[in-house]
Structure formats: structure tokens, C-alpha cells
């Protein structure tokens, strides 16, 4: 005997291992936690709770779905069915970014024939445990937003986190989230990167532009903060209208923390003898994790491919 209470035990299972963990939970009343990493779908999806993972198998059950396309005809190995107290669907839970590479690319990226071949054959299915591993040191980069489905998440209807709709961490730190009144099968959505580090941080960027006249083109914004800066993210492509405001949710690769300034750049890739100028008059950035809003103002217009820096206002 290890003189440990069952409630202090945490079992992590991948694929079929998720359902084996469930069986252990059924045989061990009061088991503390089970983490299901893309629980296997074939012969388990839609089956009775006695043969698959279920919230009743432990005091706390959290699940990461990463390969939830149907087994036939898409060869999805994981379940789409919510089977935990908290169910996370990164990137919609079906097709993971970075999993569309060919075999040679996978081998080069992973730096090994065995790992590369495994990733090529079951990349989506294996992403769940890689997300979990990455979440240990980067919990805030795996914040899940409470949503009914992926479409609502992508449209921004579930943004930001609020006191009435708090956001748990997907992965190792999921148990910091308090489940109230026996709630279960709560669905959370988030986006990840396509390679390590997979962590991403969600912001809503709102940009009001000014210019000499309406033009075609696109513009990008980069965020700068006390912890560094992000790459440039395209906020809008199409007609650029002076005085109009554009919004976009972005998932950035760097936790910049407190924002200090932002940079704006535009382009239309067309040789225009009139040398049009555009600029951002105001950029507002709302942080997903706590609703904090940063506002930046500018009063200049720049030619294409020239950076404009906006300061706090």
C-alpha cells in the first residue's frame, strides 16, 4: 500500500487508454481525476457508460478531443461525444493545424523516423497528448472558451472570459476550474499553433482607419507589450474605406502581457502613381482572459509598406 487516498490519484489515458482509465475509476470509488486524451471512438462512441469514459468514473474528468472526425470515411480515431465534466475541442476537435504535412516533412520536423511516421499516420490523434505536455508550463496559452459549437467560437460569440462564463485551462491545469452543482459535459473551444509551442493567446482587435480615398488592399497589426511582441496579423483584406472600423479575433503566439503600443501596416500590391496613404486612427485590443482593453491612437497616414506606430491614449 502507498497509503494514498483515491481522491489524490490522477490517471491519464490516451485513446483506448482513456477507457481503461474509466474502468479503473469504476473499480476505485472516489478516484480523484481522469484525463482522457482523445478517447478512442470505434466501439465506444454512443455506447453505454459501463464500457466507456464518463463523468461518473472519477471526481473530475477532463477530456481533450483532437481527432473527432467519423471513423468512416475519414479515419478519425477519437470521439466527438462529450464524455467528461469538461470537454475541450482545440481547433474544433477534428483536424489539427500542422497535421496536413507529408511523411518527409513530419520526419524532418520531429527529427526522427519513428516519431515522424507515427505523426504522419495519426497526427490528429497524437496531438492531444502533445497539447497536454505543452500545457504543463504554459497553462494560460490553452484557455478554453465556453461555447455550444465551433462556429459560435470562431464568430466571437463566446469571447471574452467573464465571471459568469469563466474559462478553464485545457490540459494539466484543468482541475483548477471549479465545477459547480454537478455540472458535466461542458464544452470549451480554443485554437492552437501548428507546432511547438502550441500555446496561443486570444485577442479581439478593432481598427478604425483613415485615408485619402477608398482603395483595395489589406492591413496588418502587431502587438507590443512588456514581454515582447507578436508577428503581424492580417486584420482585413478587401476594400479599405476611410472612417470605417474593422474587427477580428486573433490567436497570437506570444503572451505580450501588458500592451505598450501597436504597429499598423498596409499594402495593396498595385503600382499606384497617386501614392495613396492610409493610417489607423484608433486600435483597440481586448484581452480574452480577463476582458482588459487597451486603446491606442494615431494621427498620421502612411504609404504602403511603411509601419505606423500607435501609442496609448
Take residue 36 and report the three cell numbers written for it: 482522457
Mind listing the pLDDT tens digit for each residue in 156-172?
A: 999 999 999 999 999 99
CB 256 within 8 A of CB 228: yes
Within this chain, do residues 34 and 101 fall inside the same structural domain, yes or no? yes
For residue 305, CA distances in Å to 15, 25, 263 come to 48, 59, 12
Within this chain, do residues 109 and 231 fall inside the same structural domain, yes or no? no
Within this chain, do residues 86 and 233 fall inside the same structural domain, yes or no? no
**Domain assignment present for 138:** yes
CATH number for 248 = 2.60.60.20
**Domain assignment present for 196:** no
**For the chain, what is the mean pLDDT?**
91
The domain total for the chain is 2
**Domain assignment present for 78:** yes
Within this chain, do residues 181 and 207 fall inside the same structural domain, yes or no? no
Q: Which of 127, 156, 190 is the last residue of a domain?
A: 190
Within this chain, do residues 164 and 225 fall inside the same structural domain, yes or no? no
Within this chain, do residues 221 and 146 fall inside the same structural domain, yes or no? no
Q: Which of 190, 218, 238 is the last residue of a domain?
A: 190
Provide CB contacts within 8 A for 100, sequence distance 6+: none
Within this chain, do residues 159 and 264 fall inside the same structural domain, yes or no? no
CATH number for 157 = 3.40.50.1820
Least confident of 233-237, 241-245, 269-273, 288-292: 269-273
- Provide the 8-state DSSP code for 141: G
Active-site residue, from 38, 67, 87, 175: 38
For residue 51, CA distances in Å to 4, 174, 257 come to 27, 24, 45
Active-site residue, from 19, 85, 125, 172: 125
pLDDT, mean of residues 224-249: 98
**Domain assignment present for 221:** yes
pLDDT at 103 over 70: no
Q: Determine the structural domain holding residue 179 and report its residue range.
A: 6-190
Within this chain, do residues 42 and 172 fall inside the same structural domain, yes or no? yes
pLDDT at 100 over 90: no
pLDDT at 70 over 60: yes
Residue 128 designated active-site: no
**Domain assignment present for 1:** no
**Domain assignment present for 21:** yes
Residue 146 designated active-site: no
In this prediction, residue 201 has a pLDDT band, given cuts at 50, 70 and 90, of: very high
For residue 130, the cross-strand partners are none
Within this chain, do residues 171 and 282 fall inside the same structural domain, yes or no? no
* Dihedral angle, C-alpha 69, 74, 77, 81, nearest 10 °: 30
pLDDT at 296 over 50: yes
Residue 15 designated active-site: yes
Least confident of 95-109, 183-197, 246-260: 95-109
Q: What is the share, in percent, of the chain residues with pLDDT greater than 90? A: 81
For residue 247, CA distances in Å to 108, 116, 207, 213, 283 come to 37, 38, 6, 20, 10
pLDDT at 113 over 50: no
More confidently predicted of 45 and 61: 61
Mind listing the pLDDT tens digit for each residue in 125-150?
A: 999 999 999 999 999 999 999 999 99
**Domain assignment present for 206:** yes
In this prediction, residue 276 has a pLDDT band, given cuts at 50, 70 and 90, of: confident
CA pseudo-torsion sign 11, 14, 18, 19: negative
pLDDT, mean of residues 92-113: 64
More confidently predicted of 212 and 236: 236
CB 30 within 8 A of CB 59: yes
Within this chain, do residues 154 and 238 fall inside the same structural domain, yes or no? no
Q: Which of 190, 214, 231 is the last residue of a domain?
A: 190
Active-site residue, from 14, 15, 135, 146: 15
**Domain assignment present for 127:** yes
CB 241 within 8 A of CB 266: no
pLDDT at 101 over 70: no
Within this chain, do residues 117 and 185 fall inside the same structural domain, yes or no? yes
For residue 225, the cross-strand partners are 228, 259
Within this chain, do residues 170 and 236 fall inside the same structural domain, yes or no? no
Amino acid at each position: 500500500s502507498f497509503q494514498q487516498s483515491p481522491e489524490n490519484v490522477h490517471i491519464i489515458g490516451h485513446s483506448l487508454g482513456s477507457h481503461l482509465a474509466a474502468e479503473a475509476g469504476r473499480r476505485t470509488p472516489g478516484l480523484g481525476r481522469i484525463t482522457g486524451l482523445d478517447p478512442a471512438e470505434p466501439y465506444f462512441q454512443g455506447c453505454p457508460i459501463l464500457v466507456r469514459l464518463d463523468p461518473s468514473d472519477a471526481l473530475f474528468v477532463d477530456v481533450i478531443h483532437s481527432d473527432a472526425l467519423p471513423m468512416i470515411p475519414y479515419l478519425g480515431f477519437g470521439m466527438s461525444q462529450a464524455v467528461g465534466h469538461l470537454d475541450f475541442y482545440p481547433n474544433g476537435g477534428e483536424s489539427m493545424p500542422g497535421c496536413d504535412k507529408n511523411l518527409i516533412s513530419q520526419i524532418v520536423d520531429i527529427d526522427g523516423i519513428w516519431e515522424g511516421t507515427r505523426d504522419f499516420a495519426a497526427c490528429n490523434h497524437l496531438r492531444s497528448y502533445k497539447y497536454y505536455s505543452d500545457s504543463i508550463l504554459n497553462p494560460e496559452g490553452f484557455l478554453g472558451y465556453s461555447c455550444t459549437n465551433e462556429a459560435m467560437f470562431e464568430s466571437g460569440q463566446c469571447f471574452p472570459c467573464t465571471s459568469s462564463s469563466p474559462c478553464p485551462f485545457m490540459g494539466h491545469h484543468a482541475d483548477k476550474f471549479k465545477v459547480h452543482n454537478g455540472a458535466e459535459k461542458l464544452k470549451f473551444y480554443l485554437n492552437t499553433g501548428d507546432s511547438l509551442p502550441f500555446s496561443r493567446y486570444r485577442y479581439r482587435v478593432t481598427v478604425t482607419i483613415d485615408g485619402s480615398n477608398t482603395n483595395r488592399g489589406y492591413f496588418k497589426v502587431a502587438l507590443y507589450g512588456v514581454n515582447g511582441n507578436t508577428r503581424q496579423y492580417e486584420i482585413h483584406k478587401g476594400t479599405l474605406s476611410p472612417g470605417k472600423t474593422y474587427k477580428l479575433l486573433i490567436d497570437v503566439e506570444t503572451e505580450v502581457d501588458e500592451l505598450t503600443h501597436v504597429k499598423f501596416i498596409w499594402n495593396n500590391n498595385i503600382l499606384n502613381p497617386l501614392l495613396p496613404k492610409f493610417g489607423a486612427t484608433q486600435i483597440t485590443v481586448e484581452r480574452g482572459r480577463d476582458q482588459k482593453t487597451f486603446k491606442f491612437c494615431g494621427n498620421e497616414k502612411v504609404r504602403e509598406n511603411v509601419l505606423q506606430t500607435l501609442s496609448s491614449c
